Amino acid sequence: MNTAGYLRRLGLPALLNAPTSAENLRALHVAHIEKVSYEALEIWLGRPTTVDPVESAERIIQGRGGYCYHLNGAFSELIAALGYDVTRHVGGVQNRGAEPGITANHLVLTVRGLPSADNPGGEWLADLGLGDALHEPLPLVAGTYRQGPFQYVLRPSEVAPGGWRFDHDPSGSFEGMDFGLAPTGMSAFTDMHHHLTTSPTSGFVRVAAVQRRDAYGVDTLRGLVLTRLGNGKQTVTLSNAADYYAALADIFLLPLDDVSATEKDKLWRRVHDAHERWLSGDPA
C-alpha cells in the first residue's frame, strides 16, 4: 500500500515515521473522517468494487471515499503499516425499527496498546464507516460520550457475548451497532458486500447517499436532499446537475475527477429519476 500517499491524502505526511500514540491515532481518525466521505456512488456509476483493503486505499488516495468495508478496511491497513495494533471484527448495524444482530453488514476496528489520561487501558474503538456517527475514536470502556452535538453510549452487547454495543444519538441515521471481539479477515464480508452493492433491497442501491462528519455535525446527501445536522437542522433539495456536483465537490470533497462527463450525465439522470420516483411514492 502507498502509505506515504495515503498520509498526504489525509494532510498528515509528518506521521509517516511518527511513534504510535493515542494522540496520533486520534489525529489520523479525525483527518480521515473529515477528508474522506462515506459514499457508495460506485454502485450508481456501475463500477463494481471489492472489500480488498489495498484496492480501497488506492481509490481513497485518488480522491474518493467508500462505505464501511472500504473505509475501515483501508484505514486498518494504513495504521497497521504505521505500527498500530489494530484488529478487525464482524459487526452489525441496527437500522431503526430493525432487530440488533451480528449480521456482517459492518466492519469494526479496535486498536490496543495506546494508554492515555482518559483511557489508561489503552483500548480504542476506531470506526470510520458509520457515516454520521463517530468523529474521534472512543475508549473501549463502557460509558456515555459526547462528540460535538451528538451523544453516544458504549456498553456490553446483548447479542454478542463478550462484545460491545454502540448506541447512536437519537438524531442519528441508525439505532446502534453491535460487534464481537473475535478477530476476522476481510473474507467474512464478501457475501454481504455483494448483497449490499447489488440487491434491490439494499439501501445503497435504493438511495445514492453521501455523508461527511466534522467536529460540529454532519452533512448528508440522500438522492437530491441535502441536510446539515448540528446546531439545528437545515434541508434543501438540489434542483439541477450543477448544484448536485457542486455540493459533492464543496461539501463532501468529492470532485469526482475520476468520472467522465458522460458518466456524470448518466449518474445525474439516475439520481434525478430515483428522486422523482420517491416524490411520486413509488416504492422502487
**CATH code assigned at 246:** 3.30.2140.10
Q: What is the largest CA-CA distance in the chain?
A: 55
pLDDT at 61 (0 to 100): 98
pLDDT at 233 (0 to 100): 95
Length of the chain: 284
User: Is residue 102 in a domain?
Assistant: no
User: Is residue 98 in a domain?
Assistant: no
| Angle value at C-alpha 158, between 152 and 162, nearest 5 degrees | 95
Q: What is the pLDDT of residues 124-181, one digit of tens each?
A: 999 999 999 999 999 999 999 999 999 999 999 999 999 999 999 999 999 999 999 9
Enter the pTM of the model.
Answer: 0.96
User: Is residue 168 in a domain?
Assistant: no
Q: At residue 124, what is the residue type?
A: W
| Domain span including residue 242 | 199-279
How many angstroms separate the CA atoms of 283 and 4, rounded? 45
Average pLDDT for the chain: 97
User: Is residue 220 in a domain?
Assistant: yes
Confidence of residue 284 (pLDDT cuts 50, 70, 90): low
pLDDT at 267 (0 to 100): 98
As for how many domains the chain has, the answer is 1
User: Is residue 269 in a domain?
Assistant: yes
Task: State the DSSP H helix or E strand holding residue 144, giving kind and residue range, or none if neither.
Answer: strand 143-147
- Judged against a pLDDT cut of 70, whether residue 197 lies above it is answered with yes
User: Is residue 94 in a domain?
Assistant: no
User: Is residue 234 in a domain?
Assistant: yes
- Judged against a pLDDT cut of 90, whether residue 283 lies above it is answered with no
* Ramachandran region, residue 103 (left: φ > 0; alpha: ψ -120 to 50; beta: rest): alpha
User: Is residue 72 in a domain?
Assistant: no
Handedness of CA 44, 45, 50, 56 (dihedral sign): negative
How many angstroms separate the CA atoms of 168 and 94, rounded? 10
Q: What is the pLDDT of residues 27-75, one digit of tens each?
A: 999 999 999 999 999 999 999 999 999 999 999 999 999 999 999 999 9
Q: What is the pLDDT of residues 228-280, one digit of tens each?
A: 999 899 999 999 999 999 999 999 999 999 999 999 999 999 999 999 998 88
